[in-house]
Structure 1
């Protein structure tokens, strides 16, 4: 299990992660979502002992990462697929890691096959790998110690559609066998397809967390009008919290009846008025993170 309690990180006057708490249970995939600069990567780095927190704590299997006697056997981490020695081959990279963790070298061939890197790719130097191949190698390193927990930051970046589908199955199988996965990704449709739970952050704070079906069942009201500007002004005058979607409409945090009445009172002709649940995770993400900064946090 991953347990995060009141975790905070400040760089001088800048608060990057602001008092967040959550847990990830065995047998589940938790989708960790938020715009750039929201604090996702910093949170993952604090869980993995790479960045010291200002306040709060994070544990894996009941211990801080740095107190695990052999962390690679407990938790598999992929935070940066490019963080490999470019002069080593894929097989050399994994063999060195296996030696460090005390893993039998036969495991190297197993994980290479598991992530789809064949013998030719294994002999190639990492500097000649494509981004997708680096992602596969990074995932092989994360799986090498047969851990119970995976923490993955954008693991599908650089993969083609077939590779993304393959990764989805791999993570789902890992969780179904009792593993715990914390997955950060901008590929919202893929997260929606594989995640059991969702954790959404904005501006360093948690703005929503819970079961996927629970969160997606209540995403507000979707409304569109012939005159989008008139509709926006109407919603503002009615003090209705609204977020523009990608198709010229708005998602409003109110019941359809309330939204429809406000439009009718203002004489605005609507072309669509319905619960927004059909928008899926993408719409939920846009609604919850509206106004959150898209600038990178101070490092």
Structure 2
């Protein structure tokens, strides 16, 4: 269980995160999303004991990370795949970590096999690894202590499509066995495919959180016109709410028929009109983190009410 309560972090006059609260339960994958500079990395570093909060708390299993005995046996962390000694081989890096954690050396071979680095890649120096191989080694390091919790920042960077599919299965299997996964990634489709819960942060504040099923449920329409201002005015006149969508489009809180009728009545020519849902997480992400997004936290229930 990961619990973040009213976490705030300041760097001098700069407010990096403000009053951030969320939790990640065992048996689930939580997608932690936000644009660059939103406060994701600061929050993850606070959870992992690398950054001391100005106020608030972050705990794993009810205890701050720094107070966990032999933390690697409880929490597997991957925040930077490049943070490995480039002169060591993959096997040497894992063997050293196994000695520190008190893990049997046989576990090294197990995780190397698990992440696809067994055999020749294990004897290759880390400095010669591709980015994808470094990510696999980082995942092996996180899994080495057989932890109950995984905290991963952009673990799919550098992985090819097969590698991303493999990682999705690895995380899903870990959670299905009762593990807790906190996953930060800019690959929204992959997060949508694996996450049970979503937490969205923007400007250092949580702007939405809830189950993926609830947050991504869509009853609206994606609509796009050459004259976006005229389209917005037409929808407003018809009493239809809308938020920014993809490719300069809008996600309207109404069926396609009602949206089309409103546009036709106002004489607005449409370039695209279809049910929302093909890119549900991207649409949600842009609506919550774009320039016109509000700053008040949103729950799954509130999103559903606005769509009703």
Q: Same fold (TM over 0.5)?
A: yes
In 2, distance between residues paired with 1:146 and 1:22? 25
Aligned to 1:222: 222
Structure 1 residue 100 corresponds to structure 2 residue 100? yes
The residue aligned with 2:166 is: 166
- Equivalence for 1:242: 243
Shift of 1:11: 1.2
Give the whole-Å Cα distance in 2 for the aligned partners of 1:111 and 1:235: 55
1:3–1:22 contact (8 Å) kept in structure 2: yes
Cα deviation, residue 44, structure 1: 0.4
Q: Which residue of 2 aligns with 1:68?
A: 68
Q: Is the 8 A contact 1:219 1:283 kept in 2?
A: no
Distance 1:292 1:164 in 2: 32
Q: Which residue of structure 1 aligns with residue 88 of structure 2?
A: 88
The offset of 1:221, in angstroms, is 3.8
- The answer to which of 234-243 and 206-215 deviates more is 234-243
Q: Shift of the alpha carbon at 1:7? A: 0.7
Q: Give 2:36's aligned residue.
A: 36
Task: Between 277-286 and 76-85, report the one with greater CA deviation.
Answer: 277-286
Q: Distance in 2 between matches of 1:265 and 1:229?
A: 15
CA distance in 1, matches of 2:292, 2:266: 30
Distance 1:292 1:41 in 2: 24
Q: 1:82 to 1:236 in 2, by over 3 A?
A: farther
Normalised TM-score (structure 1): 0.90
Counterpart position of 1:132: 132
User: Residue 117 of structure 1 corresponds to which residue in structure 2?
Assistant: 117
In the alignment, the residues of structure 2 paired with residue 292 and residue 131 of structure 1 have an alpha-carbon distance, to the nearest angstrom, of: 36
Question: What is the Cα deviation at residue 220 of structure 1?
Answer: 4.7
Report SS of the residue matched to 2:244.
strand
Q: Per the alignment, do residues 48 and 245 of structure 1 end up closer, same or farther by CA in structure 2, a change over 3 Å counting?
A: same
Are the aligned partners of 1:235 and 1:242 in contact in 2 as well (CA < 8 Å)?
no
Aligned to 2:183: 183
**Aligned partners of 1:23 and 1:200: how far apart in 2?**
13
Structure 1 residues 218 and 206, CA gap change in structure 2 (3 angstroms)? farther
How do residues 203-214 of structure 1 correspond to structure 2 at under 5 angstroms?
203-214=203-214
Could you tell me which residue of structure 1 aligns to residue 304 of structure 2?
Answer: none
> For the Cα contact (< 8 Å) 1:38–1:292, is it kept in 2?
no
With a CA cutoff of 8 Å and minimum separation of 6, indicate the structure with the bigger relative contact order. Answer: 1
Regions of 4+ moved over 4 Å: 232-241, 256-262, 271-275
CA contact (8 A) 1:202 1:292 kept: no
Query: Matched residues in 2 for 1:102 and 1:289: separation?
Result: 43
SS at match of 1:200: strand
5+ residue gaps in structure 2? 294-308
Any stretches of 5+ residues in structure 1 without a counterpart?
A: 294-299
What is the DSSP-based 3-state SS (H/G/I as helix, E as strand, rest coil) of the residue aligned with 1:50? coil
CA distance in 2, matches of 1:114, 1:72: 18
Q: Equivalents in 2 of 1:179, 1:149: separation in Å?
A: 6
What is the deviation of 1:224? Answer: 2.2
- Per-residue CA shift, 1:231-276, capped at 9, x if unaligned? 2465688895531422x42124x44588567645643234555552
CA distance in 2, matches of 1:20, 1:140: 30
- How many pairs align? 291
The residue number in structure 1 matching 2:56 is 56
Structure 2 vs 1, CA of residues 217 and 56 (structure 1 numbering), >3 Å: closer, same or farther?
A: same
CA contact (8 A) 1:5 1:21 kept: yes
- Give the drift of 1:223: 1.9
SS of structure 2 residue aligned to 1:277 = coil
After superposition, the CA RMSD in angstroms is: 2.3
Separation (CA, whole Å) in 2 of partners of 1:220 and 1:285: 15
